[in-house]
Structure 1
Amino acid sequence: MVTGQVRAPSFGTLLRGLRDRCDFQPPGTVATTRRAPGLRREELALLAGVSVDYLVQLEQGRAARPSAPVVAALSRALRLGAEESALLHRAAGLAPATGSVTRVVPDSIERMVTRLRQWPVAVYSADWWLLRWNPAWTALLGDSGALHGRARNVVWFEMTQPDPDVWIDPREDDMFRDAIVGDLRVAYLEHPDDAELADLVTALHEVSPEFAERWTAARPARYRGLRKHVDHPVAGPLVLDGDIFQAPGCDLRMIVYSPAPGTDDADRLARLTAPGAPGERDTAG
Structure 2
Amino acid sequence: MNDRVTLAGQLRVWRARAQPGDAGVRSLAGARRTSGLRREELAALACVSPDYIKRLEQGRANPSGPVLRALSRALHLSEAEYVLACQLAGHACETEGLVPQRISPSVLRLIDRLGRVPIAVFDAAWTHLDHNDMWPALTGVDWMGRRGRAANMVWMTFVEDSAPVHVRHPDPRQHKASMVADLREVAARYPADLELRGMIRDLRSASTEFADLWASGCVAAHSTAHKTIDHPLVGRMELDCDTLSSHGCNVRIVVFTAEPGTESAEKLRVLSADSAENPGHIHP
Q: Which amino acid aligns with 2:16?
A: D
Q: Give the equivalent residue in structure 1 for 2:136.
A: 138
Partner residue of 1:81 out of 71, 78, 100: 78
Q: Which amino acid aligns with 1:111?
A: R
Q: CA, structure 1 residues 245+40, in 2 after alignment: closer, same or farther (shift >3 Å)?
A: same
Q: CA RMSD in A?
A: 3.7
Give the 3-state SS of the residue equivalent to 2:95 in structure 1. coil
Q: In the alignment, is the contact (CA less than 8 A) between 2:104 and 2:248 conserved in 1?
A: no
The one of the two structures with greater contact order (alpha-carbon pairs below 8 A, sep at least 6) is 1
- The within-5 A match list for 1:12-51 is 12-24=8-20, 31=28, 34-50=32-48
* In structure 1, C-alpha distance between the alignment counterparts of 2:75 and 2:107, rounded to whole Å: 18
For the pair 1:250 / 2:249, whether they are aligned, the reply is yes
* In structure 1, C-alpha distance between the alignment counterparts of 2:53 and 2:252, rounded to whole Å: 30
Q: Which amino acid aligns with 2:104?
A: P
Give the 3-state SS of the residue equivalent to 2:34 in structure 1. coil
- The within-5 A match list for 1:131-170 is 131-142=129-140, 144-150=142-148, 151-161=150-160, 163-169=162-168
Question: Normalising to structure 2: TM-score of the pair?
Answer: 0.76
* In structure 2, C-alpha distance between the alignment counterparts of 1:248 and 1:119, rounded to whole Å: 22
Q: In the alignment, is the contact (CA less than 8 A) between 2:228 and 2:239 conserved in 1?
A: yes
Q: Give the equivalent residue in structure 1 for 2:180.
A: 181
Q: In the alignment, is the contact (CA less than 8 A) between 1:272 and 1:280 conserved in 2?
A: no
Q: In the alignment, is the contact (CA less than 8 A) between 2:104 and 2:249 conserved in 1?
A: no
Q: CA, structure 1 residues 56+95, in 2 after alignment: closer, same or farther (shift >3 Å)?
A: same
- The within-5 A match list for 1:193-272 is 193-194=192-193, 196-198=195-197, 200-201=199-200, 214-217=213-216, 219=218, 221-272=220-271
Q: Which amino acid aligns with 2:85?
A: L
Give the drift of 1:209: 6.3
Q: CA, structure 1 residues 230+172, in 2 after alignment: closer, same or farther (shift >3 Å)?
A: farther
Q: Which amino acid aligns with 2:77?
A: L
Q: CA, structure 1 residues 250+263, in 2 after alignment: closer, same or farther (shift >3 Å)?
A: same
* In structure 2, C-alpha distance between the alignment counterparts of 1:225 and 1:52, rounded to whole Å: 40
Q: Give the equivalent residue in structure 1 for 2:99.
A: 101
Q: Which amino acid aligns with 2:18?
A: C
Q: In the alignment, is the contact (CA less than 8 A) between 1:121 and 1:133 conserved in 2?
A: yes
Q: Which amino acid aligns with 1:21?
A: R
Give the 3-state SS of the residue equivalent to 2:164 in structure 1. coil
Q: Could you list the per-position Cα deviations for residues 208-247 of structure 1 after superposition, in whole angstroms to 9, with x for gaps in the alignment? A: 6665555445536553343211111122211212112211
Q: Which moved more, 1:260-269 or 1:231-240?
A: 260-269
* In structure 2, C-alpha distance between the alignment counterparts of 1:59 and 1:211, rounded to whole Å: 41
Give the 3-state SS of the residue equivalent to 2:243 in structure 1. strand
Q: In the alignment, is the contact (CA less than 8 A) between 1:259 and 1:265 conserved in 2?
A: yes
Q: Could you list the per-position Cα deviations for residues 20-67 of structure 1 after superposition, in whole angstroms to 9, with x for gaps in the alignment? A: 333226668783655434444455445434566665554444446x54
Give the 3-state SS of the residue equivalent to 1:98 in structure 2. helix
* In structure 2, C-alpha distance between the alignment counterparts of 1:196 and 1:156, rounded to whole Å: 13
Q: In the alignment, is the contact (CA less than 8 A) between 2:141 and 2:164 conserved in 1?
A: no
Q: CA, structure 1 residues 270+95, in 2 after alignment: closer, same or farther (shift >3 Å)?
A: closer
Q: Which segments of 5 or more consecutive residues in structure 2 lack a partner in the other structure?
A: none
Q: Which moved more, 1:118-127 or 1:98-107?
A: 98-107
Give the aligned length.
276
Q: In the alignment, is the contact (CA less than 8 A) between 2:230 and 2:237 conserved in 1?
A: yes
Q: Give the equivalent residue in structure 2 for 1:3.
A: none
* In structure 1, C-alpha distance between the alignment counterparts of 2:210 and 2:271, rounded to whole Å: 33
* In structure 2, C-alpha distance between the alignment counterparts of 1:252 and 1:111, rounded to whole Å: 14
* In structure 2, C-alpha distance between the alignment counterparts of 1:27 and 1:144, rounded to whole Å: 16
